[in-house]
Amino acid sequence: MKKTLVAAGLLVVALAALLIAWFTSGWADVRARQETKRAAPTLLAETRGAELAQELRSELSRLLSREIERPYFHYQSLMRDPRASRGTGVTPSPLASGPEDKLVMGYFQLDTKGRTTTPTINDDVPELSEPKQLAGNLQFRGEVIRSLSPQLAPVAIRGEVVARNDAPEQPPRIKRPPPPPPVAPQVITLDNDSYTQNNFSNQIYQGNLPSQAVVPSQAEVTPTPPVPAPPKPVPRPRPATPPAPVALPAAVDAITIIVSPLEWSTLPFAGIPTLVAVREVATPDGALAQGFVVDRASLTSFLAASASDSIVELRADPDHSEPRMQIAPGWHLAVRANPRSIAAAAAEASQIGSAFLLRFILIGIIAAIAAAFVVWLVARAEILARERSQFAAAAAHELRTPLAGLQLYGDMLADGLGDPAKQRDYARRMSEEAARLGRVVSNVLGFSQLERGNLSVDPKVARLDEELRRLCERAEPALDRAGAALALDVAPELSAKFDRDALARIVGNLLDNAEKYGRDAEDRTIGLSARKAADGVEIVVTDHGPGIAPQARAKLFRPFTRGVTADGPAGLGLGLALSQSLARAMGGDLQYRATAGGGAEFVLRLAGA
């Protein structure tokens, strides 16, 4: 067992080292994968937020680029297009029907006289106001007056136009981030006629141009070459009976309008920070503040529809420094993962750990079973080696005893020694020793056949009673000389299915064991009986020896196993194993049956005729 213990110890240490190393590295990988899995929703949300911010930046940039090109007179309800043919006439502004872009809530214009106008509302000609959204347009203009006009309306001081800053009752303007590099303002040149008609568009529409409508003198503007007049546009339909056209002064001079670029600004509008684009328009009649308000609800709806599984919020924060999330100066997107996605990722991360632990436990169990199997193989090999060593010693003893008898009696007969009258007895003893030697050799050969799986028998139906009597007659002389008596009790005309050689080997082994293990008994009678049974025929061999200990009965029919201690009679431990195999090969069985009175009782069952 020393080799087995050493092998078991080495396997335990090696297996423990491998499992610990695997668990350490594997668990570190699991932790990394779990962290990646848990961070995936947040990373995905940030990526989606950056994509949305880029889309909004591009959309707002396109919007600003389009609006920068918009003429200043589009911010009126009625306008005179300079490209139209010469004459008197105005048309509705493209913005009179409402914003063209869904991101724009509305357009506004503020002048130095404190007036606030929007293209969708015409107070002088109410029928020209956009009728479908009139209530909303009025609400928008009122909010512009309350929120934006106090901060954006220009005022004239000593001939210069400056922004107002005298509205302490209004909320303070939100801090703006550093402005982008300056963009050159637009310089627009209009003919005197177009400029005047744009200034008095409502009066022209009503046919009532005031006589005091005088264009500034040439000294007040910078002359430029006149702009050729494009084809005249189609005029807006007039009332059934329009008033007579109003004569205007001839346009001999050019008017220069300076329009600054639109700039984003964050201003309070309806009580919340709002993104507003504002520009200044310098005209000979004074400065104008024009711009539009971005519809925060449209931005929020766009984000809600495009955010996928993320939660995106629009926030005004001039101190935010993450360029990826910025959509406009002072505005950015705040993105966070959906709680459902975070919970699902946490569950998947937990499953990764559970799967690894389950796999580790299963592989650990398999490895432990494999190690135990290896230990069992080592133990089995050690046991077989010990059994073979014992077998070699027992075989040498078993062979030496009959060989010594043969040599003794052969020398006596050869040299004429001993009593001449007992020569026949010497010859009989030589025959018995040869038979004993043959039985040992037969058992060894039979076990070899059993190990190779080519143990074969040829059972046939025959008279069992006659065969048992013949076997008893052959065994009685040796039993008598050993001091044992054989009691035969066989039912007459008893037939069974058996192989003669196999039956002879089984009965010979049983009688030999009964004689050896019963030598110390007072009654050395060996019983041999045969009777019909329910499922065939039973042959019973009994003795009055010590019997088989209970703890040895389970291994009684195993090769190299004996039912006594080492102090018992010599033997190979193959007889019972071979006999049981022969019995089963004939379709029967050999079993041990304990008796109440002591001794051993072996039962051989054979198939009936």
The CATH number assigned to the domain holding 510 equals 3.30.565.10
Average pLDDT for residues 22-49, to the nearest whole number?
Answer: 92
Q: Let me know whether 106 and 161 are in one domain.
A: yes
- Please state, for a pLDDT cut of 70, what percent of the chain lies above it: 81
Tell me what pLDDT residue 449 has: 67
Does a structural domain hold residue 310?
no
Does a structural domain hold residue 85?
yes
Q: Let me know whether 161 and 47 are in one domain.
A: no
Q: Is pLDDT of 152 > 50?
A: yes
Q: Let me know whether 463 and 539 are in one domain.
A: yes
Three-class secondary structure of residue 405 per DSSP: helix
Report which of 480, 601, 498 is spatially closest to residue 545, judged by C-alpha positions.
Answer: 601
**CB 106, CB 99: distance < 8 Å:** yes
Tell me what pLDDT residue 74 has: 94
Does a structural domain hold residue 562?
yes
Three-class secondary structure of residue 162 per DSSP: strand
pLDDT, tens digit, 9 for 90 and up, residues 99-133: 989 999 999 999 998 899 999 999 999 999 999 99
**CB 189, CB 255: distance < 8 Å:** yes
**CB 161, CB 280: distance < 8 Å:** yes
Average pLDDT for residues 53-81, to the nearest whole number?
Answer: 93
213 or 150: which leads in pLDDT: 150
Report which of 605, 455, 466 is spatially closest to residue 535, judged by C-alpha positions.
Answer: 605
Q: Let me know whether 276 and 359 are in one domain.
A: no
Does a structural domain hold residue 559?
yes
Q: How far apart are CA 71 and CA 79, in angstroms?
A: 10
Report which of 42, 48, 46, 49 is spatially closest to residue 314, judged by C-alpha positions.
Answer: 49
Q: How far apart are CA 105 and CA 267, in angstroms?
A: 14
Q: What is the pTM of this model?
A: 0.55
Three-class secondary structure of residue 321 per DSSP: coil
Q: Let me know whether 463 and 373 are in one domain.
A: no
Q: Is pLDDT of 444 > 90?
A: no
Tell me what pLDDT residue 235 has: 37
The C-alpha torsion from 447 through 569 and 557 to 478, rounded to 10°, is 70
Token pair listed for 494: 């008893």
Q: Is pLDDT of 516 > 90?
A: no
Q: Let me know whether 106 and 251 are in one domain.
A: yes
394 or 430: which leads in pLDDT: 430
Q: Let me know whether 8 and 148 are in one domain.
A: no
Q: How far apart are CA 73 and CA 80, in angstroms?
A: 8
Q: Tell me which of 353, 368, 392 is where a domain ends.
A: 392
Around 187, how many Cα atoms within 13 Å sit in the side-chain half-sphere?
7
Average pLDDT for residues 278-304, to the nearest whole number?
Answer: 93
Q: Is pLDDT of 171 > 60?
A: no
Strand-pair category, 525-533 with 485-490? parallel
Q: Let me know whether 39 and 92 are in one domain.
A: no
Q: How far apart are CA 249 and CA 213, in angstroms?
A: 9
Tell me what pLDDT residue 211 has: 45
Token pair listed for 131: 């009728």
pLDDT band at 527 (very low <50, low <70, confident <90, very high): very high
Tell me what pLDDT residue 265 has: 92
Q: Let me know whether 382 and 483 are in one domain.
A: no
Q: Determine which of 92-96, 204-208, 419-423, 448-452 has the lowest per-residue pLDDT on average.
A: 448-452
**CB 533, CB 605: distance < 8 Å:** yes
Computed over its alpha carbons, how large is the radius of gyration of the chain? 60
Does a structural domain hold residue 315?
no
DSSP state of 223: -
Number of compact structural domains in the chain: 3
Tell me what pLDDT residue 140 has: 96
Q: How far apart are CA 177 and CA 264, in angstroms?
A: 10
Report which of 10, 14, 17, 7 is spatially closest to residue 375, judged by C-alpha positions.
Answer: 7
Q: Which domain holds residue 33?
A: 2-52+339-392
pLDDT band at 395 (very low <50, low <70, confident <90, very high): low
DSSP state of 237: P
- Please state, for a pLDDT cut of 90, what percent of the chain lies above it: 39
**What is the 3-class SS of 531-545, one letter each residue?**
EEECCEEEEEEECCC
Tell me what pLDDT residue 230 has: 38
Torsions phi, psi for 195 (to 5 deg):
-60, -45
pLDDT band at 225 (very low <50, low <70, confident <90, very high): very low
Q: How far apart are CA 350 and CA 348, in angstroms?
A: 5
Q: Which residues, other chains included, contact 11 with Cβ-Cβ below 8 Å and sequence gap of 6+?
A: 371, 374, 375
Average pLDDT for residues 1-14, to the nearest whole number?
Answer: 84
Does a structural domain hold residue 13?
yes
pLDDT band at 267 (very low <50, low <70, confident <90, very high): very high
Sequential DSSP letters for 167-179: -TTSPPPPPPPPP
Does a structural domain hold residue 323?
no
Q: Let me know whether 483 and 604 are in one domain.
A: yes
Count the neighbouring beta carbons within 10 Å of the beta carbon of residue 345. Answer: 20
Count the neighbouring beta carbons within 10 Å of the beta carbon of residue 460. Answer: 11
Q: Which residues, other chains included, contact 462 with Cβ-Cβ below 8 Å and sequence gap of 6+?
A: 495, 496, 497, 498, 500
Q: Let me know whether 134 and 14 are in one domain.
A: no
**CB 587, CB 497: distance < 8 Å:** yes
Q: Taking all residues of the chain, what is their mean pLDDT, rounded to a whole number? A: 81
Does a structural domain hold residue 200?
yes
Q: How far apart are CA 388 and CA 374, in angstroms?
A: 21
Q: Let me know whether 464 and 383 are in one domain.
A: no
pLDDT band at 452 (very low <50, low <70, confident <90, very high): low
